[in-house]
Structure 1
Amino acid sequence: MNMIDFRRLERHEVTNVWQIERRETVHEVYHFAEGQLQLRPEFYDTRDWPEGEPELYTPILLECFDHGGVFLGAFSQDKLIAAGVVDARPVQDYPDLRQLPFLHVSHDWRGQKLASKLYALCKDAAQALGAAGFYISATSTRRTVDFYMLQGGVPTSQPDQALHELEPDDIHLIHRF
């Protein structure tokens, strides 16, 4: 088994998050309707990041970094295999919370508790920033939403307006520590 090292990313490493292999087969997704989560069958065979996503989100991630965001990475032999990000800026409609805008684990490394470890490290970073919890705008796949709920996230029927406009199909959750 390879040794995994966790450390903060430097600014020049931020774009390395797009090297994380996002491959995933999805069979079910959540929708938030009538005040509750509803699971529906939908099939996706995702092979890579959606077209245009790195171009759209790289400036957002760099701005987050430049405003004190905490970028944590998991490395195997100096290769970034997972990353988590905590935005240091308060969420507009929830100023006591900090956004968790990014948490991904490379396909071949899933199932080894890396996401849980990164989530715990991100939680520590958010608490050090004075946050009372996380605001999470999660991809609606069952695996992703179930993970965040297992960590303590609760879907909200009152999403942050700006983040909801950015990702209207996401499931918006709040995790108060």
Structure 2
Amino acid sequence: MQTIEIRPLTRDEVVSVWQIERREIVQEVYRFTDGRLQLHSEFYDTRDWPEGEPELYTPILLECYDHGGTFTGAFAGGKLVAVAVVDARPVTDYPQYRQLSFLHVSHDWRGRGLASRLYRKSMQIVKEQGAEGFYISSTSTRHTVEFYLHQGGHPIEQPDQKLYALEPDDIHLIHQF
């Protein structure tokens, strides 16, 4: 078994997040309706990052890094295989929280506890910085939403207006530490 190194990313390594293999078969998604999560059948065969996403989000990630964001990576053989990103800036409508803005694990590395390790490490860092919890705008896939629920997140009725406008189909959650 290959050794995993968990460490902060340097600014130059931020662009390596796009090396993470996002491949996934999705069969169910959640919707937050009438104050509760409801599971729906939907099929997606995700093969890669959506077209244009690296070009759109790289400047956003670099700006997050430059504002003190936390970038924690899991490396195997020198290659980034998982990453968690927490924005250091307060969430507009929830200033006591910090946004867990990016958490991805390469397809072949899923199921090994890397997401949980990165989540806990990120949580420890932002707790030390004085934040009260995470704000999470999660993709609606069953696997992803259930991961955040298992970590301690819960859906909120009143999402942050700015983040909701960016991702209205996401499931918006709070994890108070």
- Mapped partners of 1:141, 1:167: distance in 2: 14
Q: Identify the residue that residue 91 of structure 2 maps to in structure 1.
A: 91
Q: What SS does the corresponding residue of 1:21 show, helix, strand or coil?
A: coil
Q: What SS does the corresponding residue of 1:172 show, helix, strand or coil?
A: strand
Q: What SS does the corresponding residue of 1:38 show, helix, strand or coil?
A: strand
Look up the equivalent residue of 2:20 and give its one-letter code: I
Moved more, 141-150 or 29-38: 29-38
- Mapped partners of 2:157, 2:56: distance in 1: 26
Q: CA RMSD in A?
A: 0.6
Q: Identify the residue that residue 44 of structure 1 maps to in structure 2.
A: 44
Summarize the alignment of residues 14-53 of structure 1 with structure 2, pairs less than 5 Å apart. 14-53=14-53
1:58 Cα deviation (Å)?
A: 1.0
Contact 1:155 1:174 in 2 (8 A): yes
Q: What SS does the corresponding residue of 2:95 show, helix, strand or coil?
A: strand
1:25 Cα deviation (Å)?
A: 0.2
- Mapped partners of 2:128, 2:65: distance in 1: 16
Q: What SS does the corresponding residue of 1:31 show, helix, strand or coil?
A: strand
What TM-score does the superposition give when structure 2 sets the normalisation length?
A: 0.99
Summarize the alignment of residues 1-177 of structure 1 with structure 2, pairs less than 5 Å apart. 1-177=1-177
1:175 Cα deviation (Å)?
A: 0.1
Contact 1:4 1:75 in 2 (8 A): yes
Contact 1:86 1:101 in 2 (8 A): yes
Runs of 4+ in 1 over 2 A off after TM superposition: none
**Runs of 5+ in structure 1 lacking a partner?**
none
- The one-character-per-residue Cα deviations of 1:63-94 (angstroms, maximum 9, x if unpaired) are 10000001000000100000001111000000
1:19 Cα deviation (Å)?
A: 0.5
**Runs of 5+ in structure 2 lacking a partner?**
none
Look up the equivalent residue of 1:110 and give its one-letter code: R
1:131 Cα deviation (Å)?
A: 0.5
1:155 Cα deviation (Å)?
A: 0.4
1:108 Cα deviation (Å)?
A: 0.1
What TM-score does the superposition give when structure 1 sets the normalisation length?
A: 0.99
- Mapped partners of 1:60, 1:32: distance in 2: 27
1:52 Cα deviation (Å)?
A: 1.5
1:123 Cα deviation (Å)?
A: 0.3
- Mapped partners of 1:65, 1:53: distance in 2: 18
